[in-house]
Amino acid sequence: MTMRAGHYTFGPEQGRISVRTSRDGLAAQAGHDLTIDAVRWSGELVVAPDLAPASLEVHVDLGALVVRAGTGGIKPLTERDKREISVTARKVLAADRYPEASFTATSFSAAADGPDGTIDGTLTLAGQTRPQRLQVSQDAPGRFRVVTTVRQTNFGIKPYSGFLGALKVSDAVEVDAEVDLSAITAVEPGP
């Protein structure tokens, strides 16, 4: 399906948003590199009559973070470990005070040689708003992959540490999202 002008709304039924953490510190081998999924989120994309993206907003419920996998470490993660890590992640992100993260695009730039490009905008996380650049690739018509690196300290977040600081989550976390808009139609005519 070719994208048409209009407003597109999408969420977990059309894709996924994952955060990947890595470990640091003297006891790094004891910890795990984690994949954490946001299971409640929504997005809205507006495509202009010239078929260029005009706006994009994404909202993520930080109270709905689920640890999907943990690699490395001395022992495999149990289901209980995953639940406890999800609770800790919500605490680190102050999800009780700031229950939502959001991204609002301010500009779209296509690569000169193909469908890939960048989206510049603002990310609001833990009550602070900062510029953020997303790298976008198009795998097929209507199917997109977006990646970016978020530094927790840029948003006033102190990365998790344990064992008196010997085990830490690295400041930089990778955000990876995939969305398939090929099966949805615009909810109203173009802007």
The domain of 118 spans: 6-180
Q: Is residue 30 part of a domain?
A: yes
Q: What is the pLDDT of residue 127?
A: 95
Other beta carbons within 10 angstroms of residue 134's beta carbon come to 20
Q: What is the pLDDT of residue 191?
A: 46
- Name the residue type at position 145: R
Q: What is the distance between the alpha carbons of residues 184 and 182, in angstroms, rounded to a whole number?
A: 6
Q: What is the distance between the alpha carbons of residues 72 and 117, in angstroms, rounded to a whole number?
A: 33
- Per the structure, how many domains does the chain have? 1
Q: Is residue 12 part of a domain?
A: yes
Percent of the chain with pLDDT over 90: 63
Q: Is residue 139 part of a domain?
A: yes
Segments of the chain scoring below 50 in pLDDT: 1, 190-191
In this prediction the pTM is 0.88
Q: Is residue 1 part of a domain?
A: no
Q: Is residue 189 part of a domain?
A: no
Q: What is the pLDDT of residue 32?
A: 76
Q: What is the distance between the alpha carbons of residues 177 and 45, in angstroms, rounded to a whole number?
A: 15
- Residue 45 φ/ψ, nearest 5 degrees: -120, 135
Q: Is residue 138 part of a domain?
A: yes
- Residue 81 φ/ψ, nearest 5 degrees: -55, -45
Q: Is residue 47 part of a domain?
A: yes
Q: What is the CATH number of the domain that holds 45?
A: 2.40.128.110
Q: Is residue 151 part of a domain?
A: yes
Here the tokens at position 164 are 């008196």
- Residue 137 φ/ψ, nearest 5 degrees: -130, 150
Q: What is the pLDDT of residue 187?
A: 72
Angle at 118 between CA 111 and CA 158, to 5 degrees: 155
Here the tokens at position 90 are 């919500």
